[in-house]
Copies of this chain bind each other. A is one copy, B any other.
Amino acid sequence: MMTPSSRPGGPEAIKAARTTWRRSQIVESAARLMEEHGFHDMSVSALAREAGISVGTVYQYVDNKEDVLLLVIEDILKAYAQQVPQAMSGIADPLERLAAGFLSYCGVVDSYQTATLLAYRESRSLSRSGLHSVISHEIETTGLLVAELDAAVAAGTLRTHDTALVGSDLVFLAHMWALKRWQLRDRMTVEAYGRAQLGLVLGGLIDAKQRERYAHLLAVPGAASAPARAAARTRAGGGRR
């Protein structure tokens, strides 16, 4: 015997659906406004107007203005946490796992450029716990890449190196796609970008005897200099390298 509150579509479900709906209205509108104006020059009344709701309604669904910022950034943290491990799963080779994880990371940065920028720009406006959340997620994701770097070093695929620094470099270079988009966006696709950076970093690390095996990750002239270059250009869809 189902009670009224446990029926599918009952009041709780309606309320939860409304909360989810209103929150996404608020978050999407906030992302648009913050992309243009930043956190500080976005007023809550402008946000309400953009979302098509009243100021009081905003406060029914978020605690305060900083909460809005946090919700926008949490979207990207969730995407990292989901998409990066997923891209790496089912792949046995550490270097291939690294490549898949890094390219996926770049893809998330591309899809959430505003959130990436906000995480850098507005870290001062986050609460302690909000900032801690951002940082610990980054450490966690960096750790996934570092683990593969370590495995590749142990397998002799990569030369010995400071893998923690390399992992941080990769994450930072992924962020560069958003932070320096004024410089990069008109020059290449995010996929070409990710492959170029991966090739550059790995090119300095890879054991000489492994270059041919991973030539598809290096994307720099190697033994098959001319063909690899022509192939890379085709893949980038005309992006200049």
Residue numbers of A with Cβ under 8 A of B are 37-38, 40-41, 120-125, 135, 159-162, 164-166, 168-169, 172-173, 176, 179-180, 182-184, 187, 196-197, 199-205, 208, 220-221, 229, 240-241
B220 A182 Cβ-Cβ under 8 A: no
Tell me, in angstroms, the Cα distance from A201 to B196 when the chains sit together: 12
Q: Which of B121, B125, B229 contacts A124 (CB 8 A)?
A: B121
B41 A124 Cβ-Cβ under 8 A: yes
A165 B196 Cβ-Cβ under 8 A: yes
Interface residues of A: mostly helix, strand, loop or mixed? helix
Contacts A121-B121, A203-B204 given; does A197 touch B169 at CB 8 Å: yes
Q: How far is the CB of A135 from chain B (nearest CB, A)?
A: 7
Q: How far is the CB of A240 from chain B (nearest CB, A)?
A: 7
Contacts A37-B124, A124-B37, A124-B121 given; does A180 touch B201 at CB 8 Å: no
Q: How far is the CB of A19 from chain B (nearest CB, A)?
A: 30
Tell me, in angstroms, the Cα distance from A179 to B169 when the chains sit together: 12
> Which A-B residue pairs are the 6 nearest by beta carbons?
A203-B204, A204-B204, A38-B124, A162-B241, A40-B40, A200-B204
Q: Which of B125, B176, B204, B220 contacts A201 (CB 8 A)?
A: B204
Tell me, in angstroms, the Cα distance from A40 to B122 when the chains sit together: 10
Complex interface: chain B residues within 8 A of A201 (CB) = 200, 204
Extra inter-chain contacts (8) besides given A121-B122, A165-B184, A172-B176, CB under 8 Å? A40-B124, A120-B179, A160-B221, A162-B196, A165-B200, A168-B176, A168-B180, A199-B204
Q: Which residue of B lies closest to A200 (CB)?
A: B204
Complex interface: chain B residues within 8 A of A123 (CB) = 121
Q: Which of B40, B161, B172, B241 contacts A173 (CB 8 A)?
A: B172
B38 A125 Cβ-Cβ under 8 A: yes
B204 A220 Cβ-Cβ under 8 A: yes
Tell me, in angstroms, the Cα distance from A203 to B204 when the chains sit together: 4
Q: Which of A135, A159, A161, A168 has the most CB of B within 10 A?
A: A161
A159 B220 Cβ-Cβ under 8 A: yes
B220 A161 Cβ-Cβ under 8 A: yes
